[in-house]
Amino acid sequence: MSWKIYERKTPKTKFTLFIGIPDVGLVGPISASFLIKTLKLETLALLDSEMMPPLLLFHNSEPTFPVRIHGNDDICILISEVAIPVKAMYPLAKMIIEWAMEKGAEKIVTLSGIPVPNRLELQTPRVYVTASKKEYAEELARNGVQPLKEGFMSGMHALILKEAYIKDFPAIALLSESYFNYPDPGAAASIINALNTLFGLNIDVTPLREQEEEIRVKLRELMKRTLETMRQAGKEYEYTLPAMYA
């Protein structure tokens, strides 16, 4: 039981691989989708596994896979438009790191959310950074991006960082303060602003903010499916203090 990757085009080396997979507030796929549309990134590869539901997706009458990689010469973005079952997460994390290393990627950056109880009161959610090595996170923790010092992480980004740690590959997780169980385009806008600052992108988030309400209405179903997998992925641990904290 594994993942297969069907490449249409090989990326040039020394790119950054961004990852947006459904999780808290759907911050990852909302950010990834916005980046793909804004930067007009073409499809580079399609990913599939027998552990996934038997789905085919259509965009503008064009068939595509729910999990795929888009890109240009400088960046690649892996997006999933479906919730990844927990049993499929482990081999996917392994395959992502192996693919990134084989293609000569410089680093991986996962885009996701961290649930905060006061999200409703926040005008601009803060972004936290953590990484497969402390030094990577410390280097990026500036301009309002804060280091995540304590606590558990669960889900795909946790597995990617674990796999990168084992293989000694640079992987960074950006986590925006987010609603736990509602799609959060505001949190995604904070992530994109952090990317602008940290990686020199120049992306205007105004269209994302303007579509915020429509995105929230339209992504209810995906959020509902994602909540089912989040329950199985031990997401409640993110509210738990580690034993060493005592």
Partner 1 sequence: MGEDWFIEYIKKIRREFEKLLSEIERELYSPLIDYRTKTLQPLYEIVDLGDKLIIRIDLSGVKDPSKVSIKGSENRLLVEAKMEKPTSFEDLPTYACRSYNYYKVEITLPSPVDFKKSRAKLKHGILEIELPKKIKYYKVKVE
Residues that bind partner 1 in the complex, under the rule CB under 8 A:
120, 180-182, 212-214, 216-218, 220-221, 223-224, 228
Closest CA to 79 of 126, 117, 47, 105: 47
Instruction: Indicate the residue among 120 and 244 with the shorter CB distance to partner 1.
Output: 120
Report in angstroms how near the CB of residue 216 gets to partner 1 at its nearest: 4
The smaller minimum CB distance to partner 1, of residues 12 and 209, is found at 209
Minimum gap (Å) between residue 194 Cβ and partner 1 = 21
Least distance to partner 1 from the beta carbon of 170, Å?
36
Helices of type H across 41-184: 86-102, 134-140, 156-167
Smallest separation, CB 134 to partner 1 (Å): 35
Rounded to an integer, what distance in angstroms lies between the CA atom of residue 106 and that of residue 185? Answer: 28
Say which residue the tokens 């996701």 belong to: 112
Q: 104 and 93 in contact (C-beta within 8 Å)? A: no
Tokens encoding 155: 């889900």
On whether the CB atoms of residues 115 and 179 are closer than 8 A, the answer is yes
User: Is 145 or 223 the residue whose CB approaches partner 1 more closely?
Assistant: 223
Query: To the nearest whole angstrom, how small is the minimum distance from the Cβ of residue 121 to partner 1?
Result: 9
Residue with smaller CB distance to partner 1, 150 or 221: 221
Specify burial of residue 46 (Cβ count, 10 A radius: 0-12, 13-18, 19+): middle
Q: Which is nearer to partner 1, 42 or 213 (CB)?
A: 213
Block residue for tokens 């079952």? 85
